[in-house]
Amino acid sequence: MFPFRHHLFVCEQKKPEGAPCCSARGSAAVIEALRREIAARDLSGSVAVTPCGSLGLCENGPNLVVYPEGIWYSHVTPADVPEIVSEHLVAGRPVARLVRADEGALRSEIAQNRARALAAQRAREVAGAVPDDLSDLLRGFMPSRILLTALELDLFTAVDGCPPPGTAQAVAGRLGTSPRATRVLLDALVALGLLVKGEGGYQNGPAAGRWLVAGKPDDAGAALRHNLSLWRTWSTLTEVVRRGGPAPQAEMAARPDDWTVPFIAAMHRNATLRAPALVRAVGVSGVRRLLDVGGGSAAYSIAFARESPSLEAEVLDLPTVIPIARQHIEEAGLASRVRTRAGDLGRDALGEGYDLVLLSAICHMLGPDGNRDLFRRVRAALSPGGRVVIHDHVMADDRTSPRAGALFAVNMLVGTPAGGTYTEAEYRGWLSDCGFAEVKRLPLPGPSDLMVGTRPTGG
């Protein structure tokens, strides 16, 4: 059984609503409880937990199997997990009250369930039924719009502020909304797992209570509200495809705070998570001066400055963004080494004498000509031997993967005149054309990578 002493397979198959399955009976909570308990007991090196498809015991879930013993458990709840871990995985004593010990009955039940599943599958094929995954894809906007409306109303904060549990009437009173419509929205959020409904009313579920309530330590509401802007632009996709580009929009510098603040908050949250990996990949050796072009909240400049006490950074961004960057810089205690400059990356000179120029989440906003122009100005801003670092989606040659990049290209189609996502070959060609040498790709965890080019020391 190398490398694990025990391997647990837990059914997590999802079926159409109303059909018996482990996921509908709470298998996700069982999996999470197992992972927490195994980590708490320092067993992660010897016990593996793997979510899997149907184990064939759908009416008796959640189900799991423990190997190498081949012990089958049914009707497992999160409350059973500490006992399974301590008794079975540690002490070697299976929990008898949950074990499916009758092998003949077990095989018969699995065979019956599989026969029913195959019959239902054949019937759907004959009828030409639309597959569930296609239906789910088409209706994916429904839960998205429900959550976006809740965010727009700040509903989760209102629920948190009601004497528990909050009634629909009380929540509507806080929001200034229709009681009937609010009740319908609250019930839908319960169905989505974001709220919990009891006899007296509604409470936030774990995820909503942690990330969607204003003022909580992990409040992500401001960043997530950027999706409201995306909803509006994505709703124009059909017309954009017909005419080849978006309708005229206000320049970013002229957009109101209700667009800029959520946008920068979303970028800050993402950048804060990715900055450590980016800094490690790029390194700070030989970097005294950094220019962060379109640096937004200054998250990357702050990370570089923290890594090297001798490094000074400058964030270039629009006048509407600079106050947000300054706030983050001051909160980080780095105002003496991370400075800001108002400017337009699309047309302004970038300065000179920098050892490193960072273009994070910038190139996708521009078309090929815009990127070439930017790379020329970046080269002029670098000292000989200095590097440009591009952090963005880097697409496969056929532009269909990574999936996140293919979808993001649509985001640029509806939101910019010429933006898109680009291949490694395109970045290499543009950088070479603009006088960069030693062009290379550095992979990062997640949906985006780095392209790095060096200004030759002789020019």
Q: Which residues are catalytic?
A: 364
Q: Per the structure block, which two tokens stand in for 305? A: 């400055």
3-state helix, strand, coil in the chain (%, to 5): 50, 15, 35
Q: Beta-strand (E) ranges in 331-442?
A: 338-342, 354-360, 382-392, 394-395, 422-423, 437-442
Q: Per the structure block, which two tokens stand in for 48? A: 């593996």
Nearest-angstrom CA–CA distance, 358 and 386: 11
Q: Beta-strand (E) ranges in 396-459?
A: 422-423, 437-442, 449-454
Contacts of 31 (CB under 8 A, 6+ apart): 10, 12, 49, 51
Q: Are 415 and 233 in contact (CB under 8 A)?
A: yes
Sign of the dihedral through C-alpha 248, 252, 256, 262: positive
Nearest-angstrom CA–CA distance, 255 and 252: 5
- 196 strand-pairing partners: 203
Phi, psi of 249 (to 5 degrees): -125, 160
Three-state helix/strand/coil letters over 205-221: CHHHHHHCCCCCCCCCH
Q: Are 452 and 379 in contact (CB under 8 A)?
A: no
- 339 strand-pairing partners: 314
- Tell me how far the alpha carbon of residue 142 is from its chain's centroid: 19
* Tokens 């909580």 belong to residue: 216
Nearest-angstrom CA–CA distance, 371 and 86: 59
Nearest-angstrom CA–CA distance, 207 and 360: 29
